[in-house]
Amino acid sequence: MVHPRTQEDDLPGKDVAKEFYAKYEPKEILGRGVSSTVRRCIHKETGREYAAKIIDISSDTEGAGPTSLYQATKREIEVLRKVAGHPYIIELHDVFESTTFIFLVLELCRQGELFDYLTTVVALSEKRTKSIMKQLFEALDYIHSQGIVHRDLKPENILLDDSLNVKITDFGFAIHIQPGELLTELCGTPGYLAPELLKSSMYESSTGYDKQVDIWACGVIMYTLLVGFPPFWHRKQMVMLRNIMEGKYEFCSPEWDDITEAPKDLISKLLVVDPAARIDAAGALEHSFFKAVVTQKRIFNAKKTFQFGILCIRALVRIRRLRFTPEPLSLILARTDPYRIKTPRKVIDGCAFTRIV
């Protein structure tokens, strides 16, 4: 007999986390990672809600080595404390450590991931994109000023609070570098990797990469926000990686037809193959996209309006079916354009990887 999962499932025993349980009451699961679980929790004294990231280090086979999960988590804690206090960066409130678990008590962002928000709305207006990207660049400018490179910026690692303000999170790949220092480790998520990061793992002659890899990722994010799909994605990953290394993308029709020139120009300055020629976060904030008021009106398109009506009807039908049976998945669409379907898209963008060199 299969029993339903309860709130207590997978919770560390109180004997291994007495200090955490003394201050916080864990609630439902908000998300899961390979070695961690995120739960809503309540501070017993104040009643305030937080998100507890519970990291299981019991299976950390490399122990206290430099590349162990334990050391990576300690590095993440160090980075979070270094960038604390910025309005668009997730706030670390508490840390508890035992021999088998580490608890990070973080700010709770009720609106969830930017990824899920984007999946719901498909594409954002220029005005909404401007607000999100401005906050993202302000946070990134601060992160870089502290000598930190995030290395895994993507919509899944950007949370939204109750006011839909962004909160950069998941600093698991983040690292502190000295001025002029270059990195060579391959890490991140394929669709958001910068050309120089890919080259550093492929060519011995490569000089490495620095904070500009985060700027490239912002270009991919901004492109995706505006039209609902990324600039370099291809069902064959090798083709996608080649497109990234060559900076091969386009503002295709009809998706980009009604979008003004300012955001296109900024994206073209973000997605520059040469990191030395790529704009930085401070420069991006000075771009005309954040200064100008969008005045271009969208021309009425009867065909698009009709298509939108059909989509609304389909959505209503799907909602009615939801409690009875799942919507069938189109095999043709899954093969030709899986990125437009939420579940495969989540898998694709969740394919983060790292290789120690």
Q: Per-domain residue ranges for the chain?
A: 18-107, 114-296+344-355
Q: What's the rounded Cα separation, in Å, for the pair 174 and 152? A: 8
Closest CA to 52 of 67, 62, 36, 39: 39
Pairwise CA distance, residues 231 & 250, whole Å: 7
Q: Is 53 annotated as a binding residue?
A: yes
Active site residue 141: no
SS3 88: coil
Candidate list 60, 152, 170, 349, residue with the active-site label: 152
What is 18-107's CATH topology? Phosphorylase Kinase; domain 1 (3.30.200)
Read off the pLDDT band of 103 (50, 70, 90). very high
pTM score, whole prediction: 0.79
The third-level CATH classification (topology) of the domain covering 114-296+344-355 is Transferase(Phosphotransferase); domain 1 (1.10.510)
Give pLDDT, residue 49: 98
- What tens digit of pLDDT does each residue of 340-352 get? 555 566 566 655 5
Are 133 and 222 in contact by the 8 Å Cβ rule? The answer is yes
d(C-alpha 82, C-alpha 269), whole Å? 29
The region of weakest confidence among 63-67, 177-181, 277-281 is 63-67
